[in-house]
Amino acid sequence: MTTPYTDAELDKLQERWQAIIQQSKKTQIYKNLLKRRFRNPHGFIPWEQCASELAAVINNVASIGVDSIDHTAKTLVSITARFCSLQAPVYWLRPALAEALWNSDLPAQLPALEQVLPVGVLILPDVPWSQDPDGFQPRYVLVQHLMANEHVGRVPVGDGTVSPSVTTKDLLMWTMPLPTGGAYAKNSVLLGDWIDTETDSNEWLESTNVITEKEHDWSNRITRLVYQSLLLLQLKSDWIDIPTPTATATTTSKRKPTKKERMLNPRWIGAETFRVKTTTTNPASSGAHASPTAHWRRGHWRRTPVGEGGKDRKLSWIQPTLVNP
């Protein structure tokens, strides 16, 4: 990202944002989010930290006023406020599955995306391959899927209210806060069987920032990751790992369950047993085109004939393969 800030100015922005996060821990929004106290799996942002940042987004805008923020910030705030008010779903994306989806292409003809997640949070694994060109590590993404002409009620933020604009087309929106208090945000129109990622694209909170081509490509990959995650929620319920109940005190015991026993298990997209497919080539026997270096044979989605006479079509995911890992 080409930014107008010096390193010293960026440090001050980060310090200011951290102060806002600390203040947010006193708010009712933060306390409400912590009513769902999830266990924290290794390699992911702790839920308490995620909750404090979401509460900080609302608390910050409430203090400066909704009317004083720009379009991209309103995208961040409207999705965050709606998520907080609805206590919407939270999913954790398995690292191996996330990497496989990252290295897969969308189908040439997309199926109609059902509204399986009107609004929610996808918590992403802390892995180096998902970093943006500037080294920013996405830890979670807020997602909102609006259907054409859907009317969403306004959500109060401080003395004002926010709500997404009514759209005549299906709209897939995602946003993620940054350590400086800014945000990535992107709106992608779902036009029949393809995604228009070029329409209404606003990646950074500060309008003076210049978006590089690499950052634009990276944000499109995040869009594809989000879309495929929703597609798995829609098409492959067996890919969703329903958490088993946490241990509680036995029915014969008079004691109450401890705070740790009452914690919620994460709900995963991707089974724990999922592994990335790998293969090894032998240059001596595979011809001149074989490559000894590690590379991805990209995954893709395709429609396969099913039913009597193969008249119906089922969308199948052909998983990617890591060659010469």
The predicted-structure confidence for 90-101, as pLDDT tens digits, reads as follows 999 999 999 999
Of 190, 216, 240, the domain-final residue: 240
How many domains does the chain divide into? 2
Is residue 271 assigned to a domain?
no
161 in Cβ contact with 149 (< 8 Å): no
Residues 308 and 217 in one domain: no
CA 245 to chain centre: 25
Residues 178 and 231 in one domain: yes
> Diameter of the chain by CA atoms?
72
The predicted-structure confidence for 40-62, as pLDDT tens digits, reads as follows 999 999 999 999 999 999 998 88
Residues 221 and 298 in one domain: no
Is residue 268 assigned to a domain?
no
Of 240, 267, 297, the domain-final residue: 240
Is residue 51 assigned to a domain?
yes
**pLDDT at 226 (0 to 100):** 95
**pLDDT at 241 (0 to 100):** 77
- Where the chain has pLDDT below 70, the residues are 1-5, 108, 111, 192-194, 197-210, 237, 242-254, 283-291, 310
Q: How far apart are CA 309 and CA 161, in angstroms?
A: 54
Is residue 270 assigned to a domain?
no
Is residue 245 assigned to a domain?
no
Q: What is the dihedral of CA 45, 77, 199, 269, to 10 degrees?
A: 30
Of 194, 221, 240, the domain-final residue: 240
Is residue 246 assigned to a domain?
no
Residues 215 and 101 in one domain: yes
Write out the residue range of the structural domain in which residue 307 sits. Answer: 276-325
Is residue 215 assigned to a domain?
yes
Residues 231 and 296 in one domain: no
Residues 99 and 220 in one domain: yes
Residues 234 and 283 in one domain: no
Residues 195 and 83 in one domain: yes
Number of Cβ within 10 Å of residue 65's Cβ equals 12
Number of Cβ within 10 Å of residue 297's Cβ equals 13
Residues 187 and 300 in one domain: no
**pLDDT at 1 (0 to 100):** 47
Residues 103 and 223 in one domain: yes
Residues 148 and 222 in one domain: yes
Residue 144 vs residues 100, 198, 209, 310: alpha-carbon distances, Å? 23, 18, 25, 35
Looking at this protein, which amino acid is placed at residue 319?
A: Q
Residues 196 and 300 in one domain: no
